Amino acid sequence: MDSNVSDDKKVLPKTLNKQKSVANISLSKLSHRLTMRKKLHKRLTLVTDIMCFLGILGIILMIIKNELIFSQIHNNDTIVSWSIKVVISVSTVVLIGFIIEYHRLDISLYALNNSIENRLVTLTKTKILLIVVEILICAIHPMPRVFPHYSNESPKNTSSDGSTSTTYSVSYIYIDVVLGLPMFLRLYLLCRFILYHSHLFLDASSRSIGYLNRISIDYFFLIKAYLEQWPIFCLSIFCIFIFLIGSWSLRACDYTSSNEHLTMQDSMWLFIETFTTVGYGDIFPSTHCGRTVAAMASLVGILTTAVFITVLTQKLLMNRWEKYVHNFVLDVELAKERKIQAANVIKFAFLAWYIKKKNVSSSSFLYLQAQRRSFQAIRSLHLIKRKQGQLVDSCIDQIDLIATERNTNTQISGVTEQLQTMEVKMYNVEEKLVEMNININNIMNDIQKILSMLNKVAK
C-alpha cells in the first residue's frame, strides 16, 4: 500500500513536467508564428508600396510620352519618347517581378495563418488565374520599336489648301494609345496601397473581430466602411479621378477635322457632357475608340449618380433622436387638435339640441348647419385618432424592437430564475411538512403509550 502511494507521488511530478514542457513548446510555436506573421505583413506592405509607385510612374510616363508624340506630325516617335518607352518597359518588368513576389508572400501568409506546412497546397485554379490576369494587366504597355533617327519636334501644321493632309478613318487609332489606355488599370495597385495602410486592416482587434464573425477585412469591406464614414469625400475623389482619366482618354482617342487631337479643354467638356448624360452635341467623338470611351463614361456617370442619390437620401433622413423630437412635436399638435374637435362635437351637438328644443323645424338652415358641423367634428376626431396611431407606429423602428426584445428576454430570464427558486423553496417546505407530520405522529404515538401505561397503573 505504501509503495503504491510513493509511486503515485513520483509519477505526478513527471506528468506535470510533461504538461509544462508541452505548453512551453506550444507557446514558443505560437510566438514564432506571430513573429513570422508580423514580418510577412511588413514585407507585403513594402512590396505593395513599391508596386504602387511603379504602376503610377508608368502611367505618368505614358501620358508624357503620348503628349510628346501628339505634338509631332503623323504621331511620329522622337528620341525622348523612345527613351521614355524604354523606361516604361524596364519599370513594367520590375513591376511584374514584384507582383510575383507579392503573391508568394501572400500565399506564405495564408499558409501560416491556416497552419499549412506546404504552401503550394493553397494554389488553386482560381488563384492561379487571378495571378495570370494581374500579370497580363500590368504587362500591357507601349513598347519601344524602331529607334528614331531624328530628334526635331515640329508641331503639327496643315496646309491651307489641304493637299498634304490625309483624313483619318473612323477606326484609326495610334498603336501607342491602344497600348497606353489599358495602363490605367494599374490603378488597382493604388487601391491595394490604401488597403495595406488602412487602420481597419492594420488594427489587430478589428481583424480578430472580423475573423470571429467570418468577415474578411478586404478592399470591398473597406469601400463600404469609407462610404459609410466619408461618402461625399470618397465620391468626390472618385469623380475627379474618372474625370481626369476620361478626359485624357478622349483627347488621345479623338481627332478634329484637321487631324489634330482634341485639346484638353474640349475633351473635358465632352466628358462632362457624356458623364452627366446631357449631350449638347457641339462636340462629339469621331472615332470608334472615342465612342467607346464616351459610352463607358456615360455608364459610370449613371452609376455614380445613383450612388450619389442614395448617399444624399441617407444624409437627408432624420436620425433616431430627431425622429423622436419631431414625432413628439406632432403628437402635441395632434393632441391639441383632438381636444378642439372634441369640444366642437359637444358644442355643435348642444347647438342642434337647443335649436330643436325651440321648436324650430328640422329642415331649417341653422339646424342642418349645426348637425353638419357636428358630423364634421366627429369625422375630424376619428382622423386625428388614426394619425396618432400611425405616429406611434412610425416611432417604432427595428432598434426599438430589438431593445424591447432584449428587455423582455431579460425579464423572462429573471422570472424563470425566481420560479426555479420558488420551486426549490416549496420543495424544502414540503420536506419540512413531511418531517413535521412524522414528528406529530410520533408524539401522538408516545402520548397514547403514556396514557395506556397510566391507565394500567391506575387499574
Chain segment 215-230, per-residue pLDDT in tens: 777 888 888 888 888 8
CA–CA gap between residue 291 and residue 298 (Å, rounded) = 10
Task: Output phi, psi for 362, to 5 deg.
Answer: -70, -20
Instruction: Give ∠ CA 351-352-354 in degrees, rounded to 5.
Output: 65
Confidence (pLDDT) at 149:
55
CA–CA gap between residue 439 and residue 193 (Å, rounded) = 85
Q: Mean pLDDT across the stretch 283-287? A: 80
Task: Report whether 105 contacts 40 (CB < 8 A).
Answer: yes
Confidence (pLDDT) at 156:
44
Please provide the distance, in angstroms rounded to a whole number, between the alpha carbons at the two ends of the chain.
67
381-415 pLDDT per residue, tens: 999 988 888 777 666 666 667 778 888 888 998 89
Confidence (pLDDT) at 138:
93
Confidence (pLDDT) at 221:
85
Between 185 and 370, the more confident residue is 185
Q: What secondary structure, in 3-state letters, does 239-278 show?
A: HHHHHHHHHHHHHHHCECCCCCECCHHHHHHHHHHHHCCC
89-107 pLDDT per residue, tens: 999 999 999 999 999 999 9
Confidence (pLDDT) at 199:
82
Q: Mean pLDDT across the stretch 39-63? A: 93
333-385 pLDDT per residue, tens: 888 999 998 998 899 888 888 888 887 777 778 888 888 888 898 999 999 98
Q: Mean pLDDT across the stretch 144-151? A: 62
CA–CA gap between residue 20 and residue 26 (Å, rounded) = 10
Radius of gyration of the chain (CA): 43
Mention every residue, 6+ apart, whose C-beta is less than 8 A from residue 146.
77
Q: Mean pLDDT across the stretch 17-40? A: 69
Q: Which residues pair with 261 in a beta bridge?
A: 255
Grid coordinates belonging to 250: 478622349
CA–CA gap between residue 387 and residue 175 (Å, rounded) = 69
Helices of type H across 282-397 = 288-316, 320-357, 365-395
Ranked by mean pLDDT, the top range of 18-22, 30-34, 86-90 is 86-90
Confidence (pLDDT) at 331:
84
Confidence (pLDDT) at 163:
42
Grid coordinates belonging to 389: 396611431
- Percent of the chain surpassing pLDDT 90: 27
305-316 pLDDT per residue, tens: 888 888 888 877
CA–CA gap between residue 137 and residue 183 (Å, rounded) = 7
Q: Residue 137: exposed, middle, or buried by beta-carbon count in 10 A (0-12, 13-18, 19+)?
A: middle
Give the model's confidence band at 258: pLDDT under 50 very low, under 70 low, under 90 confident, else very high: low
The pTM assigned to this predicted structure is 0.67
Q: Residue 273: exposed, middle, or buried by beta-carbon count in 10 A (0-12, 13-18, 19+)?
A: buried
Sign of CA dihedral 115, 117, 120, 125: negative
Give the model's confidence band at 19: pLDDT under 50 very low, under 70 low, under 90 confident, else very high: low
Q: Would you say residue 190 has pLDDT above 80?
A: yes
Q: Which residues pair with 255 in a beta bridge?
A: 261
Q: Which residues of 165-204 are buried (b: 16+ CB within 10 A; e: fewer)?
A: eeeeeeeebbebbebbbebbebeebbebbbbbebeebeee
CA–CA gap between residue 323 and residue 316 (Å, rounded) = 12
Longest dimension (CA), the chain: 164
**Count of alpha carbons within 13 Å of 202, Cβ hemisphere only?**
10
CA–CA gap between residue 106 and residue 213 (Å, rounded) = 22
Amino acid at 209: I
Percentages helix, strand, coil for the chain (3-state, rounded to 5) are 80, 0, 20
Q: Would you say residue 117 has pLDDT above 80?
A: no
Confidence (pLDDT) at 214:
72
Confidence (pLDDT) at 70:
80
Confidence (pLDDT) at 23:
54
Q: C-alpha dihedral over 111, 114, 116, 122, to 10 degrees?
A: -50
Give the model's confidence band at 164: pLDDT under 50 very low, under 70 low, under 90 confident, else very high: very low
Q: Which of 56, 90, 55, 85 is nearest to 69 (CA)?
A: 85
